[in-house]
Amino acid sequence: MHVGIIMDGNGRWATKRGLPRLVGHKRGASRVKDIVKASTELGVTTLTLYAFSTENWKRAAHEVEGLMKLFRGYLQNNFVELNEKNIKVNFLGDPAPLAADLRVQMADLEALTKDNTLITLNVAINYGGRDDLVRATRTLAAKVQNGTLAVDDITEQVVSDHLDTAAQSDPDLIIRTAGELRISNFMVWQSAYSELAFIGNSWPEFTPEVYAEVIADYRSRTRQFGAVIPKGAEAVE
């Protein structure tokens, strides 16, 4: 089972409490470990967390700087533990605009954990679904141009194989916290038939107990994928 989470509401959680927005982001970062652990207990085999979008660069410079500092700290503090817990870490998105030391840490963590099997943790940083498609399209166009790929050979599977999530299953469920009712450019190709869950709790309030309730609700649904499912068919697993 693949779950994607749009971790929204950190700043608003802090603002409601009269705290700086970065305090909310820090609280949200501490929530990640709980949700990764809960995922392994709930039968989730791939977890994708939307950490920083291609649009988030538009935020105030001090907030962006603070987010990058938190991300750097998360990598440094959890580098060894993620590997010891048998977690495979992948990073989605275009790393080019990120600081050089971050790119090195990300590459090192991916290499260290590449053979781990408990759960795959995708961290989407400087990620946008449209940007993912643009980068895949450029690669496909280059292959057509150099003669290694024919236009007629481009299928949905070929496109999927050139996205950041190549070789992974599409998300079965996408969760967004903090009550917003949109996916905000998150995995726009991969989420074509994902089930959606919009949760009122902000990300710092998204406890393992709330998570378990969302997963239980998902498992009570019947996924149709555009077909007509006979009455009484089994719900999703």
Residue 106 has pLDDT above 60, yes or no: yes
Query: Which percentage of the chain shows pLDDT scores above 90?
Result: 90
Q: What is the mean pLDDT of residues 132-159?
A: 97
176-224 residue pLDDT tens: 999 999 999 999 999 999 999 999 999 999 999 999 999 999 999 987 7
Residue 229 has pLDDT above 80, yes or no: no
113-127 residue pLDDT tens: 999 999 999 999 999
- Residues 6 or more apart whose CB falls under 8 angstroms from that of 131 comprise 54, 93, 94
Mean pLDDT of the chain: 94
- Cα of 83 vs its chain's centroid, Å: 19
Q: Using 50, 70 and 90 to split pLDDT, how confident is the model at 234?
A: low
Q: What is the mean pLDDT of residues 28-57?
A: 96
- Give me the residue spans of the domains in the chain: 2-128+171-219
Residue 232 has pLDDT above 70, yes or no: no
What local confidence, expressed as pLDDT, does residue 89 receive? 97
Residue 102 has pLDDT above 70, yes or no: yes
Q: Return the CATH class of domain 2-128+171-219.
A: alpha beta
Q: Using 50, 70 and 90 to split pLDDT, how confident is the model at 42?
A: very high
**Beta-bridge partners for 3:** 47, 173
Q: What is the mean pLDDT of residues 68-75?
A: 92
Quote the CA–CA distance of 39 and 153 in Å, as a whole number.
37
Residue numbers annotated as active site: 8, 56
Quote the CA–CA distance of 214 and 217 in Å, as a whole number.
5
What local confidence, expressed as pLDDT, does residue 101 receive? 94
Nearest Cα neighbor of 216 from 189, 235, 188 is: 235
What local confidence, expressed as pLDDT, does residue 169 receive? 96
Nearest Cα neighbor of 193 from 161, 164, 156 is: 156
Q: Is 4 helix (H, G, I), strand (E, B) or coil?
A: strand
What local confidence, expressed as pLDDT, does residue 226 receive? 73
Say if CB 185 and CB 128 are below 8 A apart: yes
Work out the number of other CB atoms within 10 angstroms of the CB of residue 166.
Answer: 10
What local confidence, expressed as pLDDT, does residue 211 receive? 98
Tokens in use for 168? 């992974």
What local confidence, expressed as pLDDT, does residue 225 receive? 78
